[in-house]
Amino acid sequence: MKTATLKSRRRFLGGAAATMAGAMATLTGCGRNEVEAFLQHNFRELSKDELRQVVARLEQDAKRKYGKEVRIGTEPAQQGVVFGYALDLSRCIGCRRCAKACVKENNPSRDPQIEWIRVLQLNKDEGVDVSHADPYYNPEEVPQEGHFYMPVQCHQCRNAPCTKVCPVGATWQEPDGIVVVDYNWCIGCRYCMAACPYGARRFNWGEPAIKAEDINPVTHYLGNRPRPKGVVEKCTFCIQRTRKGLYPACVEICPTGSRKFGNLADPKSEIRYILENKRVFIFKEDLNTKPKFFYFYGV
Amino acid sequence: MYSLRALRHFVLDSIGHIFQGNRYYFAWVGFLLVLIAAGAAAYLGQLRDGLIVTHMRDQVSWGFYIGNFTFLVGVAAAAIMLVIPAYVYDWEPIREITILGEVLAISALVMCLCFVMVDIGRPDRFWHIMPLVGRLNFPTSLLAWDVIVLNIYLLLNWFVVTYLLYCGYTKRHYVKAIVLPLVLFSIPMAVSIHSVTAFLFNGLAARPFWNSAILAPRFLASAFCSGPAILLVLLQILRKVTNLKIKDEAIFKVAELMAYTMGFTLFLTMAEVFKEFYSNTEHLVYTKYLWFGLQGHHTLVPYAWGSVACGLAAFLLLLIPRTRHNWVGLNIGCVLIYASVYIEKGMGLIIPGLTPDPLGEIYVYTPSATEILVAAGIFGIGFLVFTLMLKVAVPIMLGELTVTPGQPAP
C-alpha cells in the first residue's frame, strides 16, 4: 500500500518534471539534456519508457565527451542467481594483473587514477594484519620471499554498511547480490566510504578522464558506464559481463587461477564446493558484514 | 489587520536598522563581506575542478569541512545550556543571554548547513535529500536523521527568537503558552542534534575510533563548554559597544557551569584513552596515531596534546573562583576552551577516525588552501548572520527600537 502510493506520487512528480524540463530549458537557457539530467529520478523509480530516454541521453553525452559510441545496457538480475567470489590466498602471487584488467574493463578515470582492486603485500610472519600491509610494493619480481598477497575489492556484503548509511538511497543491493551505485543519483557525501570496512569505494575527486581508445564501449547502467565528477563508484563483479554469463575480468585474467566465481544459489557450483570443502577465511568477520567475497587456502 | 501591519513595520524597521550604524559597524560588515567573497571565489574553483582541490582523498574522505560542521553542531546545541535555567527557573539576569544564545545557535546552524553543502560532490543534486521531492533514506541513514533534526532545530530557534523580538518591538508581553512549550521542546531537540551527529560517526563499525559508546556523551559535554565560551566573550563585547545590561553574576554563573562540563569532558577523554591503551587491541592504532604518531607520522600529535593542555588550563582558570571572577582569567579561560574543543572536533576527531584507512594505509591529511578559504568564507557568513540579527535584536531588547511612534498602541 505504502509503495503503491509512493509510486503514484512519484509518477505524478515524474510527469510534472517532464513538462517542467521543457519550460526550465527555455527559461534558463541550459540545454534540454542538462535540465533533464538535473530532474532525473533514482534508477529504481524509472519506468521502462523513462529509462529508455535516460539511457539514450547518457549515450549521447558519453559520445560527446569521449568521442566514441558507448552502449549502456540495463540487463536485470537473473532469477535464482546470487553471485559469490572466492580468492585463493595460497595461489595469489601479487602480479596485479587483476587490477589492470579491471581498469581496462570498467572505464574508471585514468587521470586522476582510480583502481577498484587494491592488492596488499603482507608479511608471512604477521599474517593478515593490515597494519603491516603495503599496497605500493614495486619489486622487480613477485612473489617476494617472506610475503604473501591479498587483493581487496568490494565484498558485496549481504549486511552492507555502505547501503545502510546512504542518505538518498543511491546505492543498494540488487537481487543477484551485487551492490551497485546510481551515478546519477549519488550526491557525493561519501558517507558510504566512511562506512566501508574494506576501503572498496572510490570517489571521483576530479573530472574523470579516459582516452577514446581506452573506453570499453560495452557497459551497464549500474556498472562500468562512464561516470561524472563528484560521485562514488566501486567494483560490481563486472555486472555488464556476469549478467550475461561471462566471468568478471579479474577472474578471466588471473594467471594462477586464484580467483573463483559462481552462483551461490546453485549447490553444484564450484564456488559452493570451495565454501563447503576448503579452509575459508572471511576478512573482518567480526563486523558481521556477511560478505559474498571469500578468501580461502586451496593448497 | 493591526497585527499584519505591525508585522510589516517590524520587518521594514528591522531591515532599515541593518543599514544604520557607525563606521566600526560598517568596517566589520565590510570585513565579513570580503571574507565571504574570498570564500566564494575559492568555492567556485572547487565547483569547477571538483573536490580534488581539497586534500581529501579516498583514504581520508572527510576532513576540515566535516570537522567544522561537527564543531558547529555543538555550538548550536549549546544554546540550550542557557535556555534551561533561564526559562525553567525564570532566572531573571539570564533572559537576554538566552535570546543571544539562540541567535548564536541560528548562526551556527547556517554555518553547519553551508559546511555540508561545500563538502558534497554534487551540490546540484541537493534536492535528492529533501523529504518528499527526493528520496530521503529515513530512518535507515543517520545522515537523513541529521538533515531532519538540524532543520527542525533551525526553524524552532528562528521562530522563538523572531517571536520574542516581535513582542518586544510591539511592546507586548510574549504569550507564555506559545513560548514555554517551544522552549521546552528545544531542549530535547538540542540534545538530539548533537547526539544524532555523534551517532552518525558512532554507528560505523568500520571505524573503531568512532565506534565508541561514549562518543555522544563526549560530544554533548564538549559542546556545553565551547558554545557558552564563545557567548561569554561576545556578551562582554556587546556590553561595551551597546547599552545592553548584563549582570556580572550571570556571566560568572555560566563560567562556573563551563568549568564543570570541561572537567567532565577531560574525564571522558581520559576514559577513552585508558580503554584503548590498556586493552591494547589492533584498534589502538587510531588512538596511537592521534596521541603519539604512527610509523613516523606525527602530524596530529601537537594538536592532541595542545587540545588537552588548553582544556586543562581552562578548567582550572574557570574552576578557581579567584581567576573566574577576574576578567583576564575568565577571558583566557574562554579562549582556551574554544581552542581546545575546536582542535578536538576539527583535527582530533575526523582525521584519526579515518587514519589509518581500513586497509592500514596512512595518508597524512592537512587542509588545502581552498579548504581554509572556503571555511573562512563560511565563518564570514555565520558572523554576518549573527551581526545582522543582533543589530536588530539588541535595540529591541533595550526598548530603543519599537513600533513607530504615532502608531496606535497595541
pLDDT at A1: 39
Name beta bridge partners: A295. Answer: A87, A281
Of the candidates B51, B124, B359, the beta carbon closest to that of A152 is on B359
Burial B155-176 (b: 16+ CB within 10 A, else e): ebbbebbbebbbbbbbeeeeee
Instruction: Evaluate the omega torsion of the peptide bond into residue B356 and state whether it is cis, within 30 degrees of 0.
Output: yes
pLDDT at B405: 56
Give CA–CA dist B146/B158, Å, rounded: 18
Flag if A197 and B62 touch (Cβ within 8 Å). no
Give CA–CA dist A120/A151, Å, rounded: 6
Flag if A195 and B204 touch (Cβ within 8 Å). yes
Measure B381 CA to nearest chain A CA, in Å: 22
Could you give the 3-state DSSP secondary structure of residue B38? helix
Asked if B148 reaches chain A (Cβ–Cβ under 8 Å), the answer is no
Determine if residue A170 is left, alpha or beta; phi over 0 gives left, psi from -120 to 50 gives alpha, anything else beta.
alpha
Going by C-alpha positions, the residue among A232, A200, A220 that lies closest to residue A105 is: A220
Q: What is the tens place of the pLDDT at every residue in A117-166?
A: 999 999 999 999 999 999 999 999 999 999 999 999 999 999 999 999 99
Residues of chain B neighbouring A198 (CB-CB closer than 8 A)? 358-359
Flag if A199 and B126 touch (Cβ within 8 Å). no
Give CA–CA dist B391/B306, Å, rounded: 36
Of the candidates B52, B124, B353, the beta carbon closest to that of A38 is on B124
Flag if A207 and B137 touch (Cβ within 8 Å). no
Question: Which of 154-213 (B) contact A at CB < 8 A?
Answer: 200-201, 203-207
The ipTM value here is 0.94
Flag if B50 and A199 touch (Cβ within 8 Å). no
Could you give the 3-state DSSP secondary structure of residue A221? coil
B121, B50 contact by CB (below 8 A):
yes
* The model's pTM: 0.93
Could you give the 3-state DSSP secondary structure of residue A211? coil
Residues of chain A neighbouring B285 (CB-CB closer than 8 A)? 131
Measure B205 CA to nearest chain A CA, in Å: 7
Closest B-chain CA to A134: B361
- CA-based Rg of chain B, rounded to a whole angstrom? 22
Residues of chain A neighbouring B204 (CB-CB closer than 8 A)? 161, 165, 194-195
Q: What is the tens place of the pLDDT at every residue in B19-58?
A: 999 999 999 999 999 999 999 999 999 999 999 999 999 9
Q: Which residues, other chains included, contact B221 with Cβ-Cβ below 8 Å and sequence gap of 6+?
A: B261, B264, B265, B268
**pLDDT higher than 80, residue A13:** no
Residues of chain B neighbouring A135 (CB-CB closer than 8 A)? 359, 361
Give CA–CA dist B45/A197, Å, rounded: 32
Q: How far apart are the first and last CA of chain A?
A: 53
Which triple of cell numbers denotes residue A270? Answer: 564450484
Measure B403 CA to nearest chain A CA, in Å: 42
> Quick one: DSSP state of residue A248?
P
pLDDT at A16: 59
Q: What is the tens place of the pLDDT at every residue in B256-310?
A: 989 999 999 999 999 999 999 999 999 999 999 999 999 999 999 999 999 999 9
pLDDT at B403: 82
**Which structural domains are found in chain A, ordered by start?**
2-73 (no CATH), 75-299 (3.30.70.20)
Top mean pLDDT of A28-32, B79-83, B89-93, B170-174 is at B170-174
Q: What is the DSSP string of A40-77?
A: PPPGGG--HHHHHHHHHHHHHHHHHHHSS--EEE-PPP
Instruction: Please provide the average confidence, as pLDDT, over all residues in chain A.
Output: 93
Asked if B136 reaches chain A (Cβ–Cβ under 8 Å), the answer is yes
Of the candidates A152, A165, A193, the beta carbon closest to that of B141 is on A165
Closest A-chain CA to B52: A205
- CA-based Rg of chain A, rounded to a whole angstrom? 21
Of the candidates A45, A190, A230, the beta carbon closest to that of B62 is on A190
Query: Strand A202-203 to strand A232-233: parallel, antiparallel, or no bridges (unpaired)?
Result: antiparallel
Flag if A168 and B51 touch (Cβ within 8 Å). no
Give CA–CA dist B287/A222, Å, rounded: 38
Measure A197 CA to nearest chain B CA, in Å: 4
Flag if B56 and A205 touch (Cβ within 8 Å). yes
Q: Which residues, other chains included, contact A130 with Cβ-Cβ below 8 Å and sequence gap of 6+?
A: A120, A122, B356, B358, B359, B360
Flag if B58 and A197 touch (Cβ within 8 Å). no
Give CA–CA dist A151/A128, Å, rounded: 12
pLDDT at A2: 46
**Which structural domains are found in chain B, ordered by start?**
12-397 (1.20.1630.10)
Q: Confidence band (pLDDT; 50, 70, 90) for A299?
A: confident
pLDDT at B409: 46
Q: Which residues, other chains included, contact B284 with Cβ-Cβ below 8 Å and sequence gap of 6+?
A: B276, B277
Measure A213 CA to nearest chain B CA, in Å: 24
Instruction: Evaluate the omega torsion of the peptide bond into residue A112 and state whether it is cis, within 30 degrees of 0.
Output: yes
Q: Which residue has the cell 568549568?
A: B259
Q: Which residues, other chains included, contact A231 with Cβ-Cβ below 8 Å and sequence gap of 6+?
A: A181, A183, A186, A188, A203, A204, B121, B122
Going by C-alpha positions, the residue among A294, A255, A256, A246 that lies closest to residue A105 is: A246
Q: Which of A100-104, A202-206, B230-234, B306-310 has the lowest mean pLDDT?
A: B230-234
**pLDDT higher than 60, residue B410:** no
Flag if A188 and B51 touch (Cβ within 8 Å). yes
Phi, psi of A279 (to 5 degrees): -85, 105
Flag if B59 and A199 touch (Cβ within 8 Å). yes
Flag if A132 and B360 touch (Cβ within 8 Å). yes
Flag if A185 and B128 touch (Cβ within 8 Å). yes
Task: Give, for A218, the enclosing helix (H) or strand (E).
Answer: strand A218-220
Going by C-alpha positions, the residue among B250, B262, B233, B220 that lies closest to residue B82 is: B250
B129, B138 contact by CB (below 8 A):
no
Q: Mean of the pLDDT values across residues A202-228? A: 97
Residues of chain B neighbouring A38 (CB-CB closer than 8 A)? 124-125
Residues of chain B neighbouring A196 (CB-CB closer than 8 A)? 206, 358
Flag if B51 and A203 touch (Cβ within 8 Å). yes
Q: Which residue has the cell 599474517?
A: A127
Of the candidates B49, B54, B128, the beta carbon closest to that of A168 is on B128
Flag if A205 and B50 touch (Cβ within 8 Å). yes
A161, A197 contact by CB (below 8 A):
yes
pLDDT at A197: 98
Q: Confidence band (pLDDT; 50, 70, 90) for B88?
A: low
Phi, psi of A209 (to 5 degrees): -130, 130
Asked if B129 reaches chain A (Cβ–Cβ under 8 Å), the answer is yes
Tell me how far the alpha carbon of residue A190 is from its chain's centroid.
Answer: 15
Alpha helix (H) residue ranges in B127-175? 142-169
Give B205-209's long-range contacts (Cβ < 8 A, gap of 24+). B205/A161, B205/A197, B205/A287, B205/A288, B206/A161, B206/A194, B206/A195, B206/A196, B206/A197, B206/A287, B206/B358, B207/A194, B207/B286, B207/B353, B207/B354, B208/B283, B208/B286, B209/B283, B209/B286, B209/B287, B209/B290, B209/B352, B209/B353
Neighbours of B12 (CB within 10 A): 11
Give CA–CA dist A47/A145, Å, rounded: 56
